[in-house]
Amino acid sequence: MNFKIEEMIELLERTPETLKQLLSGLSDGWVLSNEGEGTWNALEVVGHLIEAEKVNWIPRVKMILTKGESETFPDFDRFAHLQQIQGKTMDDLLNEFKQVRNESLTDLKTLITIHTDYELKGTHPVYGSVKLSELLSTWAVHDLTHITQITRVMAKRYRGDVGSWINYLSILK
Amino acid sequence: MNFKIEEMIELLERTPETLKQLLSGLSDGWVLSNEGEGTWNALEVVGHLIEAEKVNWIPRVKMILTKGESETFPDFDRFAHLQQIQGKTMDDLLNEFKQVRNESLTDLKTLITIHTDYELKGTHPVYGSVKLSELLSTWAVHDLTHITQITRVMAKRYRGDVGSWINYLSILK
């Protein structure tokens, strides 16, 4: 087990500014590019991160700490953000993500103490019994997954432009 | 073809600061983690980006512009950086990458004019005839590939920590 709360928080703290440096001011060609029908562009991925922040991570941490396994987590609507982002710019979304992430971290640091038992369990609607440490580890991996997704989607935009180099750029396959 | 020089430069400009926000100050557990023997950790990936900057991108652009297909690009040693990074910290490498990238961009903006023909060709040691537009597109995709690699490697560190969520985190597979 590699999970450590301090190291997991280090990652969560860095994601908003990492995405801001990568995406703020970038041309629409990059931020509106996707991997085909039904897939998300960078704007939509940031919208999803905001939605997860609002309804998923801290609410589930609180449920584990206060209700244990007695109540099932509400389902997470992985498409709700597609409505929420209507009319917003990338900078709107990056700022909003930074704000909700800061709120989450403030909450997390209040909820977690040196006495917290990370083996405490909650009930996931699909997976059943899950541990607090697993929820927190997933939160960090979820950030990394979506940074990966954004850079992969953007890379694929140049799939037809790299010529023979496509042979060594495995990301394009 | 999606390649546009201005948009490609937008990406190159953002990579050093993106990596700095992601990696600076992060615990060794994150930056020294790799995907197994013979694979690179985040520190080594940044070292590779520096090496490519010094010996690969701008030198090849110059060869295309001045020699065309008459001379073959020198081979790029994809392992040279493993020596170069000895004794350096992540912050050393992030600062060095920012500096060499800035130098490259200054060079590029001098070399490229509104009259530049992106169909101009050079000779790659393995692929043979390659176009300037393909080299420049590959440079941008190479950045995105290695950001993706870093976030994937870091995510895998928590492979054993996410419990049942591993089923929906495709990055861990």
What pLDDT sits at residue A30?
A: 97
Backbone angles phi, psi at A81, to 5 degrees: -65, -25
pLDDT at B102: 98
Cβ distance B21 to A18 less than 8 Å, yes or no, reads: yes
Do residues B118 and B40 lie in contact, with contact meaning Cβ atoms separated by under 8 Å?
Answer: no
Residues of A in contact with B152 (CB under 8 A): 144, 148
Q: Which residue of chain B has the CA closest to A134?
A: B162
**Topology classification of domain A5-172:** Four Helix Bundle (Hemerythrin (Met), subunit A) (1.20.120)
Average pLDDT, integer, range B61-88:
92
In degrees, rounded to 5, the angle at the alpha carbon of residue B66 between the alpha carbons of residues B64 and B67 is 70
Please check the confidence at residue A79 and state whether its pLDDT lies above 90: no
Which percentage of chain B shows pLDDT scores above 70?
A: 100
C-alpha A111/C-alpha A117 separation (Å) is 12
Predicted confidence (pLDDT) per residue in B24-43, tens digit = 999 999 999 999 999 999 99
Per-residue confidence at A83, pLDDT binned at 50, 70, 90?
Answer: confident
Put simply, the answer to whether B162 touches A4 (Cβ < 8 Å) is no
DSSP for A77-109 reads -TTTHHHHTTT--HHHHHHHHHHHHHHHHHHHH
pLDDT bracket for residue B83 (50, 70, 90): confident
> In the prediction, which pLDDT does A98 show?
98
Contact A22 B27 (CB under 8 A): no
Backbone angles phi, psi at A67, to 5 degrees: -115, -15
ipTM attached to this prediction: 0.96
B2 touches chain A (CB under 8 A): yes
Mutate to test the interface with A, among B138, B143, B168 (most CBs of A within 10 A): B138
Q: What's the pLDDT score for residue A80?
A: 87
A99 at B interface, C-beta within 8 A: no
Residue B15: what pLDDT? 98
- Please report which confidence band the pLDDT of residue B173 belongs to, taking 50, 70 and 90 as the band edges: confident
Give per-residue pLDDT as tens, B128-164: 999 999 999 999 999 999 999 999 999 999 999 999 9
Residues 19-78 on B with a CB inside 8 Å of A are 20-22, 25-27, 29-30
Number of other residues whose CB lies within 10 A of the CB of residue B117:
10
Question: Domain ranges in chain A?
Answer: 5-172
Query: Which of A45, A156, A23, A171 minimizes the C-alpha distance to B11?
Result: A23
- Name the residue in chain A with its Cα closest to that of B21: A18
Predicted pLDDT of residue A61? 98
What average pLDDT does range B81-87 have in this prediction? 89
- Whether A3 has its CB under 8 Å from any CB of chain B: the answer is yes
Mean pLDDT lowest among A105-109, B82-86, B154-158:
B82-86
Taking the Cβ of residue A118 and every Cβ of chain B, the question of whether any pair is shorter than 8 Å is answered with no
Would you state the pLDDT for residue B88? 96
Residue B46 near residue B23, CB atoms below 8 Å: yes
In this prediction, residue B171 carries a pLDDT of: 87
**For residue A44, what is the DSSP state?**
H
Cβ–Cβ gap A162/B137 under 8 Å: yes
Kindly determine whether residue A160 and residue B1, on different chains, have CB atoms separated by under 8 Å: yes
Q: What is the pLDDT of residues A13-56, one digit of tens each?
A: 999 999 999 999 999 999 999 999 999 999 999 999 999 999 99
The two structure tokens encoding residue A4: 């450590």
Find the residue in A nearest to B121 (Cα). Answer: A163
Owner of token pair 């997976």 = A127
Residue A22 has a pLDDT of: 98
Say if the Cβ atoms of A10 and B25 lie within 8 Å. Answer: yes
Percentage above 70 pLDDT, chain A: 100
pLDDT of residue A77: 84
pLDDT of residue B71: 95
